[in-house]
Amino acid sequence: MRLAMIGLGKMGGNMVRRLRRAGIEVVGYDRDAKTVAGLAEEAGMIAATSVADAVSKLGPPPSPRVVWLMLPSGDPTENQLKDLAPMLSRGDIVVDGGNSNFKDSQRRGAWLAERDIGFMDSGTSGGVWGLDNGYCLMVGATPEVAKTLEPVLRALAPAPDRGWAHVGPVGAGHYSKMIHNGIEYGMMQALAEGLDLLKGKQEFNYDLAQLTELWRHSSVVRSWLLDLTADGLKNDQELANVAPFVPDSGEGRWTVIDSVEQGIAAPVLTLALQMRFASQDKKGYSYRLLSLMRNAFGGHAVKSTGEGK
Amino acid sequence: MRLAMIGLGKMGGNMVRRLRRAGIEVVGYDRDAKTVAGLAEEAGMIAATSVADAVSKLGPPPSPRVVWLMLPSGDPTENQLKDLAPMLSRGDIVVDGGNSNFKDSQRRGAWLAERDIGFMDSGTSGGVWGLDNGYCLMVGATPEVAKTLEPVLRALAPAPDRGWAHVGPVGAGHYSKMIHNGIEYGMMQALAEGLDLLKGKQEFNYDLAQLTELWRHSSVVRSWLLDLTADGLKNDQELANVAPFVPDSGEGRWTVIDSVEQGIAAPVLTLALQMRFASQDKKGYSYRLLSLMRNAFGGHAVKSTGEGK
């Protein structure tokens, strides 16, 4: 089996390494030629100079030839797919392993199906640890397409028989990954709030590195997120150099939008996202307004920024 | 070292078993004589017919003699401690291994200190799995008291060198256990909300047992709570026989009260608790009121219960 990986960033590059360790031939392309050359040298990847070159290096049909996109969601994935489709033949398969919105994946799957090209959406969890631990893969596809990709999934997963699954039709892979990330937001926020309360309780002068390490063993909250937190706090628990600003990517927002569209309550996942927005808001206009109102009705002092006059 | 365990329920009984496995002599008392007889027979525990009998079976001073209370928090622990203190001598130690409020533990520790009796508050996580996995123990005490209890903590923990720690002065054990449980509420709610959205997404017809099992391997949300959820969903994922009613014990509430007292935001921990209250509210009076208001200002139809006239 031969597969082309398009996009050799943090995720795509490590996935190529993992596939090569399993002896799977991979053609690789990235906009950055140095990355391509490096992976060719290091992992025995077949270097491509363009997407067209990558497809040609998969050899001629008979199909299926597989092109795996590992690109930022939105325009980069959309544009690449538009360029790629005319280069493929009936029976070939495109995999989107990025964090695309499941509605885009459903639309793209239908669009490729009209051209008799298969599509699989793969929700991929594991981050930078996936190279060694394996990736958790939730894939949406027809049974035939999923079957074709099975050797690749078995190589990328933590073990051939676990950590990957064909969870439903096209779209179901990215939808379940979206919910996975929504849950991740909630779990992270719960851990962060609890540790913040412990930090605030000055009379007990807790060593948060000790406590989080302790909880890793037989406690109810033991989890991979706790493991990472405990490791991080070992070096520094003041976090003075970490700005209190939490970015968010698409999946947390889409989870909340989906909760609204389904009319199913998900208040904690929603609030975990909203707290990230609050952290991103440097202007604090709503807080300024509240201060204004308190002053207006109760004469409460307004704390000044010292700016303006 | 000889220790008396008062209260041989789910937690106390298994702790006796674990201590006995480590060769520690334990005198045990419970209101239920059958439980006492059973543990004496099964685990070689020294049976006591009353708390006074348990103390006398610890032998005469020299101290320290250790009495470990494993009772429901609130009045049962308070009353037992009041009865127990006069039976003890200078230098003896009382351990409260239950889920007491840390303020009670601070007060009790000070009260016993006036009598030259030591006190240790032990936050104990691990539930019914603790017998085999070991307990995660967060203890608050003076360094001397913690040192005396070290052999017991090493036997109860998952391993002699991990899963237990002296985290601070009296009160610090129960406070950290309280926050641990607050975090647990948030993590549980995040998982439940995400799985509820997946269940609602009928077009994908997910097998939630498959998905949760899948996430156990290399995903970011892998956790012990996910492990238990995956195991539970294997047998039944409709949960038709499980009432949608979630009790709460003291710790979740105390975490939220502490957030208010410290003035530190913990919105997700708070909301996770509030959602439990909502699940407990069969009357739904606030929902009835909202329906009334919608009808009043907009003429929107009120859904009838069919009760009354």
pLDDT tens-digit map of A220-264: 999 999 999 999 999 999 999 999 999 998 999 999 999 999 999
Contacts of A164 in chain B (CB under 8 A): 214
Query: Do B17 and B167 meet the contact criterion of CB atoms below 8 Å apart?
Result: no
The predicted pLDDT at position B104 comes to 98
Q: How far apart are CA A119 and CA A92, in angstroms?
A: 9
Mean local confidence (pLDDT), A69-94: 96
Contacts of A127 in chain B (CB under 8 A): 220
Determine which of A202-206, A226-230, A303-307 has the lowest per-residue pLDDT on average. Answer: A303-307
The closest CB to that of B267, out of A167, A197, A271, belongs to A271
The predicted pLDDT at position A71 comes to 96
> Which helix or strand (DSSP H or E) is residue B275 part of?
helix B267-280
Residue tagged active-site, from A25, A150, A184, A213: A184
Q: How far apart are CA A281 and CA A258, in angstroms?
A: 24
Q: Which two tokens stand for residue A261?
A: 């569209």
The mean of the pLDDT values for chain A is: 95
Residue tagged active-site, from B184, B238, B251, B303: B184
Asked if pLDDT for residue A70 goes beyond 80, the answer is yes
The predicted pLDDT at position A141 comes to 98
Interface of A with B in 203-232 (CB under 8 A): 203-207, 210-211, 213-215, 217-226
Q: How far apart are CA A196 and CA A272, in angstroms?
A: 15
> Domain spanning B2-169: which CATH class is it, in words?
alpha beta
Residue tagged active-site, from B177, B193, B307, B309: B177
Task: Tell me what percent of the residues of chain B surpass a pLDDT of 90.
Answer: 91
Mean local confidence (pLDDT), A145-155: 97
Asked if pLDDT for residue B1 goes beyond 80, the answer is no
Asked if pLDDT for residue B91 goes beyond 80, the answer is yes
The predicted pLDDT at position A208 comes to 98
Minimum distance, in Å, between the CA of residue B79 and any CA atom of chain A: 27
Mean local confidence (pLDDT), B148-159: 96
> Which helix or strand (DSSP H or E) is residue B255 part of?
helix B250-262
Q: Give chain B's length.
A: 309
Mean local confidence (pLDDT), B24-28: 97
Task: Tell me what percent of the residues of chain A surpass a pLDDT of 70.
Answer: 100
> Mind listing the pLDDT tens digit for each residue in B260-285?
999 999 999 999 999 999 999 999 99
Could you write out the DSSP letters of every residue in A120-172? Answer: EEEEEE-GGGHHHH--EEEEES-HHHHHHHHHHHHHHSSBTTBSEEEEESTTH
Helix, coil or strand: residue B236: coil
Query: Do B45 and B68 meet the contact criterion of CB atoms below 8 Å apart?
Result: no
Contacts of A272 in chain B (CB under 8 A): 190, 268
The closest CB to that of B158, out of A163, A210, A218, belongs to A218
The predicted pLDDT at position A152 comes to 97
> Mind listing the pLDDT tens digit for each residue in B208-225?
999 999 999 999 999 999
The predicted pLDDT at position B124 comes to 93
- How many Cβ atoms are within 10 Å of B63's Cβ, its own excluded? 17
Answer whether A218 sits within 8 Å of B265, measured CB to CB. no
Cβ neighbours of residue A60 under 8 Å, at least 6 residues apart?
Answer: none
Please indicate if any CB of chain A lies within 8 Å of the CB of B132.
Answer: no
Determine which of A101-105, A129-133, B161-165 has the lowest per-residue pLDDT on average. Answer: A129-133
Which is nearest to A221 in space by CA: B78, B222, B296, B230? B222
Q: Is the pTM of this model over 0.90?
A: yes
The predicted pLDDT at position A301 comes to 87
Cα A285 to chain centroid, rounded: 31
Contacts of B127 in chain A (CB under 8 A): 220
The predicted pLDDT at position A204 comes to 98
H-type alpha helices, chain A: 10-21, 33-43, 51-57, 75-84, 102-114, 130-133, 143-156, 172-200, 208-215, 224-235, 250-262, 267-280, 285-298
The predicted pLDDT at position A309 comes to 62
Residue-range domain boundaries for chain A: 2-169, 178-282
A177 is catalytic: yes
Q: Which two tokens stand for residue A243?
A: 């700005």
Least CA distance to A258: which residue of chain B? B197
Cβ pairs A/B, distance under 8 A: 277
The predicted pLDDT at position A229 comes to 98
Q: What is the CATH number of domain B178-282?
A: 1.10.1040.10
The predicted pLDDT at position A274 comes to 98
Contacts of B18 in chain A (CB under 8 A): none
DSSP at B89: -
Testing the interface with A: which of B101, B135, B220 to mutate, by most A Cβ within 10 A?
B220
* pLDDT band per the 50, 70, 90 thresholds, residue B127: confident
Asked if B2-169 and B178-282 have one fold, the answer is no
Answer whether A268 sits within 8 Å of B193, measured CB to CB. yes
Contacts of B187 in chain A (CB under 8 A): 186-187, 190-191, 221, 223
Which is nearest to B68 in space by CA: B37, B110, B34, B25? B25
The predicted pLDDT at position A260 comes to 98
* Amino acid letter for position A1: M
Asked if pLDDT for residue B309 goes beyond 70, the answer is no
Please indicate if any CB of chain A lies within 8 Å of the CB of B191.
Answer: yes
Asked if pLDDT for residue A128 goes beyond 90, the answer is no
B177 is catalytic: yes
The closest CB to that of B269, out of A164, A179, A193, belongs to A193
Minimum distance, in Å, between the CA of residue A53 and any CA atom of chain B: 33
Which is nearest to B126 in space by CA: B89, B163, B151? B163
Which is nearest to A194 in space by CA: A208, A214, A174, A173? A208
Task: Tell me what percent of the residues of chain A surpass a pLDDT of 90.
Answer: 91
